[in-house]
C-alpha cells in the first residue's frame, strides 16, 4: 500500500476528507519551491501534488500556466521534479506527480515510473492519458508499485466511467467542471453528482479538483468527496505576495483555513 493509500485510509477513519495541495516543481524557484511546500504542510495539507511544468498544458488555467512558465524559465527539468518529490516525502507527507504524457514518454515510460518509486512517490496523475493508450504505462506502474490516477470529467459517459474508474488506484481524480484549473466563487454543482456517479462504480477514494479556493468551499466538497485538491489558490498567494517571506505566511494561513474546512 502506498503512502497515499495509507493516508486516505486514515482520513476516512477520522471521518474527514484529505487535503491535497498542488504546486508546480521549480516555482517560484527550485529552492523556494521546497520552502513553499513545507509552509503548506505546516498549515495542515495532508498530501502534495507536484506539477511537472510543461509548455502546452491543456488542463491548466492562467494562474497555473504562469507558474509553469516561470518554472520552465528557471530551467526546471525531470531531475528537479524528482528531487522536489523526494524532498516533499521527507517532510512526512505522501506525494504524487501530475504530468502530461509527453514528459513521461520522453523520459522513458518504465524509467519514469521506477524513478517515482525510487524517490518515495506514491504515484502519478496523467490528465491527458486515456486508458486505451496506457497499456505500457499500466505495466510500468504495476512493476514499480505506484498508483495510477486518471481524470474523470462531468462529460465522461456512463458507459466509459466504470472502465476508467476501475483503472485508478490511490484515488480517482474528479474534475468538478468542464474547463481549466483556477479559483472560482463557487464549486460547480456538477462535482457532487460526478462523485456520486464514480462511487457507484468503484470503492477507490475520489478526490475533487478544479475551483476550491477557501475553507467554506473545502468544507462543502469534503461532505461528499474523500479528498479536496487545491492548486491555483496556493499559487496565487505566492504570485500576489510582496515578498517570499510574506508568501510563506500566506500559504500556511490558507492551508490552515482549508484544513479546518475538511475537518468540520
Catalytic residue positions, numbered? 49, 60
Cell of 127: 490528465
Q: How far apart are CA 234 and CA 212, in angstroms?
A: 10
Question: Measured in whole angstroms, how far is the alpha carbon of residue 162 from the centre of its chain?
Answer: 22
H or E element, residue 192:
helix 190-199
Strand order of the β-sheet with 227-230 is 147-149, 123-125, 95-98, 47-51, 18-24, 227-230, 206-209, 172-175, 151-152
Torsion of CA 224, 229, 235, 240, to 10 degrees: 10
Amino acid at each position: 500500500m502506498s503512502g497515499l493509500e495509507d493516508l486516505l485510509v486514515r482520513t476516512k477513519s477520522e471521518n474527514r476528507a484529505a487535503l491535497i495541495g498542488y504546486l508546480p516543481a521549480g516555482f517560484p524557484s527550485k529552492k523556494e519551491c521546497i520552502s513553499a511546500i513545507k509552509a503548506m504542510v505546516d498549515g495542515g495539507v495532508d498530501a502534495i501534488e507536484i506539477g511537472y511544468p510543461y509548455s502546452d498544458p491543456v488542463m491548466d488555467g492562467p494562474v497555473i500556466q504562469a507558474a509553469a512558465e516561470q518554472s520552465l524559465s528557471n530551467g526546471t527539468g525531470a531531475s528537479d521534479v524528482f528531487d522536489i518529490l523526494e524532498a516533499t516525502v521527507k517532510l512526512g507527507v505522501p506525494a504524487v506527480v501530475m504530468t502530461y504524457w509527453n514528459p513521461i514518454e520522453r523520459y522513458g515510460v518504465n524509467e519514469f515510473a521506477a524513478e517515482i518509486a525510487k524517490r518515495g512517490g506514491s504515484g502519478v496523475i496523467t490528465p491527458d492519458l486515456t486508458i486505451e493508450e496506457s497499456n505500457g504505462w499500466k505495466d510500468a506502474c504495476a512493476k514499480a508499485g505506484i498508483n495510477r490516477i486518471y481524470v474523470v470529467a462531468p462529460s465522461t459517459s456512463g458507459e466509459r466511467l466504470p472502465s476508467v474508474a476501475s483503472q485508478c488506484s490511490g484515488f480517482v481524480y474528479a474534475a468538478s467542471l468542464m474547463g481549466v484549473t483556477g479559483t472560482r466563487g463557487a464549486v460547480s454543482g456538477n462535482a457532487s453528482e460526478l462523485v456520486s456517479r464514480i462511487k457507484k462504480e468503484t470503492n477507490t477514494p475520489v478526490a475533487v479538483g478544479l475551483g476550491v479556493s477557501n475553507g467554506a468551499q473545502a468544507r462543502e466538497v469534503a461532505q461528499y468527496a474523500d479528498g479536496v485538491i487545491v492548486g491555483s489558490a496556493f499559487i496565487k498567494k505566492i504570485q500576489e505576495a510582496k515578498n517570499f517571506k510574506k508568501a510563506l505566511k500566506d500559504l500556511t494561513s490558507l492551508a490552515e483555513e482549508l484544513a479546518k474546512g475538511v475537518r468540520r
